[in-house]
Amino acid sequence: MNSVPVSLTRRPNGQSDRRLDDQTDDTPRDECGVMGISTPHGEGVAEMTFFGLFALQHRGQEAAGIAVSDGQRARIHKDEGLVANVFTPDAMAPLTGYHSIGHTRYSTTGSSAHRNIQPFLVETMHGPMAVAHNGNIVNAPALREELLHRGFGLTATSDTEVIALMLAAAGGRTWQERLERTLPAWKGAFSLVLLAADEVIAVRDPWGFRPLSLGRLPQGGYAVASETCALATLGCTEVDEVRPGEIVTLRGAEMHRHQALSAAPNSAHCTFEFVYFSRPDSVWDGHNVHHVRQRLGIELARESGVEADVVIPVPDSSIPAAIGYSTESGIPHNDGLIKNRYIGRTFIEPTQAMRERGVALKFNALTENLAGKRVVMIDDSLVRGTTAGPLVKLVRDAGAAEVHVRITCPPITHACHFGVDMGHDGDLMAAHKTVAEMEEHIGADSLAFLSLEGMMRAVGAADGYCNACFTGDYPIAVTEAQAKLSFEGAIA
């Protein structure tokens, strides 16, 4: 069983897309979104995967890929860019089959180089196998070194390639057996979808760091996705979560579930899924994301209320929290900042004058709603501090009398090693500044963060979540964790 060559398109003159919003965005970035579909009839499987990835575009904008199998052969197309740009009609035409997986990427381990785009498709003695991954394997350096010593040649610098090669080399009669034998070696966060010749397999780490849900397709078959919003887009019913440590096999009209590893005694769901990452219409761990964000705003108003005339969100993830803050405080809610949602990616290098304008590339202020007002500005997080100050100035320049910044989570003081790119500890403003110093740095009249206890009240849980970025209390040891670009030295 042979896989066809990967369909890849280089940018002109080897040029990579420049992320314009990298210059003005101070938000943490998730690694990716994954999607898997298996149908008994094989009609439109790639198209359904495309629409599922389209719903997951917020989880990664660097690159996207889809791999499809017809029971014997696997085909793949992947490239840099947004989902709608990567998958043209010509690119989609060869992607026929019954089973499919997809991926939309922001890099966490490994750079955004072309060679790291997922899924990874390999030919094995057991047939074709493709893997797409959301998360981060903290012991990937040791696993990668072991593969090199065993004579494997690695072509990428991503922990997902390590996963793919370990599975390809594992013993066992089935991919489920190979997974079960290999899973104990992986330490960290992984929500995986795996494509074999005649099935799609989903698996989640024992700690449950990253979300992964599954549902029944209305036309028959099953789908699995990083978020329920993608399943809703496809009209899925009987939606459930892939349990921590569970292997779920999708084979046409059949679905089989097997608890391969015992769930960790203390689960470690990522709280930031509620604060920022997940789409507001998604449901995770039994909670609607939009409702949790409203409760974050309610708790914030209770903890750090201030006399003001208007509450405004920093669009888009802070909108529900601003509504909650307004409801609890009685201060009217209104739009104060308008976001350019179509800034996307561009080859055009901004001029120095435009670069100095910073957030003006991404936000404009509504003077009519801000002039002469005492403003409470709600944001989801403050990471490096590169955006908050310019936003405060933007609101002041629009005539605001006072600007009070309220953040819907605690100060981020530690780096994440489980699939969120926040930078290193030294990059984090709260790691080396007090709240008073941060307030002065961003130029706000006051600055307040939601407490850890308040955040967990909003989530509706006392434990079971990873809050290491706020506390430094990592649920598993991270002594082996690598920097994002640590594998880049040998392969340029």
Secondary structure (DSSP) of 293-311: HHHHHHHHHHHH----SEE
How far is it, in rounded angstroms, from Cα 374 to Cα 309? 5
Q: Tell me, what CATH number does 359's domain have?
A: 3.40.50.2020
Q: In this structure, is residue 10 part of a structural domain?
A: no
398 is in which domain, residue-wise? 290-471
Q: In this structure, is residue 234 part of a structural domain?
A: yes
268, 303, 327: which is the final residue of a domain? 268
Q: In this structure, is residue 122 part of a structural domain?
A: yes
Q: What is the pLDDT of residue 105?
A: 86
- What are the distances in angstroms from CA 110 to CA 76, 100, 103, 209, 338? 21, 24, 15, 20, 33
Cβ(379)–Cβ(395) below 8 Å: no
Q: State whether 454 and 416 are in the same domain.
A: yes
Q: pLDDT by residue for the chain (492 residues), tens digit each?
A: 333 333 333 233 333 333 334 444 566 655 689 999 999 998 899 999 999 999 999 998 889 999 999 999 999 999 999 999 999 999 999 999 999 999 998 754 444 468 889 999 999 999 999 999 999 999 999 999 999 999 888 888 888 999 999 999 999 999 999 999 999 999 999 999 999 999 999 999 999 999 999 999 999 999 999 999 999 999 999 999 999 999 999 999 999 999 999 999 999 999 999 999 999 999 999 999 999 999 999 999 999 999 999 999 999 889 999 999 999 999 999 999 999 876 554 445 566 666 656 677 789 999 999 999 999 999 999 998 888 999 999 999 999 999 999 999 999 999 999 988 776 777 899 999 999 999 999 999 999 999 999 999 999 998 999 999 999 999 998 875 554 444 444 554
Q: What is the pLDDT of residue 115?
A: 86
Which residues does 405 contact at the CB level (< 8 Å), separation at least 6? 377, 379, 382, 388, 392, 439, 442, 444, 446, 447, 448
Per-residue DSSP letters for 133-153?
A: EEEEETTHHHHHHHHHHTT--
- 316-330 burial by CB neighbour count: b if 16+ within 10 A, else e? ebbbbbbbbbbebbe
Q: State whether 230 and 315 are in the same domain.
A: no
Cβ(264)–Cβ(235) below 8 Å: no
How far is it, in rounded angstroms, from Cα 288 to Cα 239? 14
Q: In this structure, is residue 52 part of a structural domain?
A: yes
Q: State whether 247 and 300 are in the same domain.
A: no
How far is it, in rounded angstroms, from Cα 169 to Cα 126? 10
Q: State whether 234 and 310 are in the same domain.
A: no
Q: State whether 263 and 296 are in the same domain.
A: no
How far is it, in rounded angstroms, from Cα 187 to Cα 68? 28
Q: State whether 323 and 260 are in the same domain.
A: no
pTM: 0.88
Q: State whether 264 and 294 are in the same domain.
A: no
Known catalytic residue: 32? yes
- 432-467 burial by CB neighbour count: b if 16+ within 10 A, else e? eeeeeebbeebbbbbbbbbbeebbbbbbeeeeebbb
What count of other Cβ atoms lies within 10 Å of the Cβ of residue 51? 16
Q: State whether 365 and 235 are in the same domain.
A: no
Q: What is the pLDDT of residue 28?
A: 60
Q: Retrieve residue 104's tokens.
A: 């939309």
User: Which amino acid makes up residue 72?
Assistant: Q
Q: In this structure, is residue 390 part of a structural domain?
A: yes
Q: State whether 246 and 349 are in the same domain.
A: no
Q: Tell me, what CATH number does 119's domain have?
A: 3.60.20.10
Q: State whether 338 and 405 are in the same domain.
A: yes
How far is it, in rounded angstroms, from Cα 436 to Cα 418? 30
Q: In this structure, is residue 3 part of a structural domain?
A: no
Q: In this structure, is residue 208 part of a structural domain?
A: yes
Q: In this structure, is residue 281 part of a structural domain?
A: no
Q: What is the pLDDT of residue 139?
A: 93
How far is it, in rounded angstroms, from Cα 113 to Cα 107? 9
Options 32, 229, 416, 466, the catalytic residue: 32
Total structural domains in the chain? 2
Q: State whether 250 and 361 are in the same domain.
A: no
Q: State whether 194 and 72 are in the same domain.
A: yes
64-157-179 Cα angle (round to 5)? 80
Q: Which residue has the tokens 């072509």?
A: 155
